[in-house]
Amino acid sequence: MTLTNRAVIVIIGGGIAAYKSLDLIRRLKKRGAGVRVILTEAATAFVTPLSVSALSGNRALLRLLDAESEPDSGHIRLAYSSDLIVVAPATADLMARMATGRADDLATAVLLAATCPILIAPAMNPAMWQHPATQRNFWRLMDDGVEAVGPNSGAMAEPEQGVGRMAEPPEIVAAAENLLKSRSALLAGKKVLVTAGPTYEAIDPVRFLGNRSSGKQGYAIARAAAAAGADVTLVSGPTALADPRDVRVDRVESAREMLAAVLAALPVDIAVFCAAVADWRVDVESDHKIKKTGESPPVFTLVENPDILSTVAHLEENRPKIVVGFAAETDYVLKHAREKLLKKGCDFILANDVSPERGIMGGDNNSIHVVTAEGVTDWPLMAKDDVARHLVAYLAEYRVKD
Ligand code: C5P
């Protein structure tokens, strides 16, 4: 089940074993994975883009500077949106280019930009495999966190015996599953709290003050944290979204209810405040529907809502080890995010530009700047699900300062 709904990139290098990669694609698909295939130039001498496209159900990817996808950093997006990359066959040349960090074709550019696990299935002539240069490259890749399956010993294309034969497709699939299993528990044993959605501040029994937050980003974070093995509580304002699987969901309406639910969920290890909490509410909520009188319209006095993020970040007791804020801004994004980081006392802020022309509010993509006391890191435009997976990986690596 590990491969079900996982986004897998298969990179086919130029070796005679490439024909077996067609069977590998078929087996990965059969296990429920979504498969995109990149062919190196040399690989096209062994298998055709047409057979790869037919088997994977997706257009075979060949070029780095593809006019269709590259204007919005197609290769970076491809790298960021995958759960696993399998390089099969990993030829001596491809391994050498990976080990030295080359990015001169689509395969190596994606490999260099990828943050997901990478599995290689080396395949080459035994003399090439045993050459000190190949061994050096192989062990450098292992040091970089790449995993390998094979090579096996046995009959080769040349009239030779020895080590260099690519692992069989079922072995590669099993190794891929194991790798995903071992890397998918990034937040195992951690308790994570996420707030999401808008809050509604009642004016009377039928009217409220609210905002356009869809809750999609917060729900994606809750889902990704649960998939990474965390025990997740999602405190959600009113949204049209279904409860994510394996997540405890506490639905609330107002900012004050959200604060109460958040405090009740503590202690946690990590708290991510993604909700677009209404800044104000009317000072007195009417207990009956306010009627039009034909005279002067009602005038409301607004009072400020509690700041949930700031309250939790400043707790003396039960402060989560990592407190993350979001900053949705329409101008001076980074300046405002830095100010918020200080004022609200959180560990880092994910800032994004939500000016209407960017289509982020309610949309499926997000463009994030991670603002910490040390500086700013920009993430490219990616799907909200990818932002969530990225955040999970970032949290798993995040060093808590004493
Ligand atoms: O609304 P603002 O831009 O200040 O939100 C920044 C961060 O603070 C977000 O993470 C948001 O979830 C959080 N926040 C909160 N309670 C509020 C206002 C904002 O938790 N009342």
Q: Which residues of the chain have pLDDT under 70?
A: 65, 67-73, 156-160, 358-363, 401-402
Distance 146 CA to ligand 1 centre (A): 39
pLDDT at 142: 84
pLDDT tens by residue, 152-185: 987 766 666 788 999 999 999 999 998 888 777 8
List every span in the chain annotated with CATH 3.40.50.10300. Answer: 191-401
52 touches 83 (CB < 8 A): no
Residue 172, amino acid? I
* Residue range(s) of every CATH 3.40.50.1950 domain in the chain: 7-182
Candidate CATH numbers 1.10.10.10, 3.40.930.10, 3.40.50.300, 3.40.50.1950; the one for domain 7-182: 3.40.50.1950
CATH topology classification for 191-401: Rossmann fold (3.40.50)
Ligand 1 centre distance from Cα of residue 164 (Å): 56
Residue 393: its pLDDT value, please? 87
pLDDT digits (tens, 9 = 90+) for 211-238: 999 999 999 999 889 988 899 999 999 9
22 burial level (CB within 10 Å; 0-12, 13-18, 19+):
buried
Q: What is the pLDDT of residue 115?
A: 84
Q: Give catalytic residues, as residue numbers.
A: 211
Q: Which residues contact 98 (CB under 8 A, 6 or more apart)?
A: 87, 90, 108, 111, 120, 137, 141, 146
CA of 185 to the centre of ligand 1 (A): 29
Ligand 1: residues whose CB is within 6 Å?
A: 195, 255, 273-275, 277, 305, 307-309, 325-328, 340
Quote the strand ranges of 160-215, DSSP E.
161-165, 191-196, 201-202, 208-209
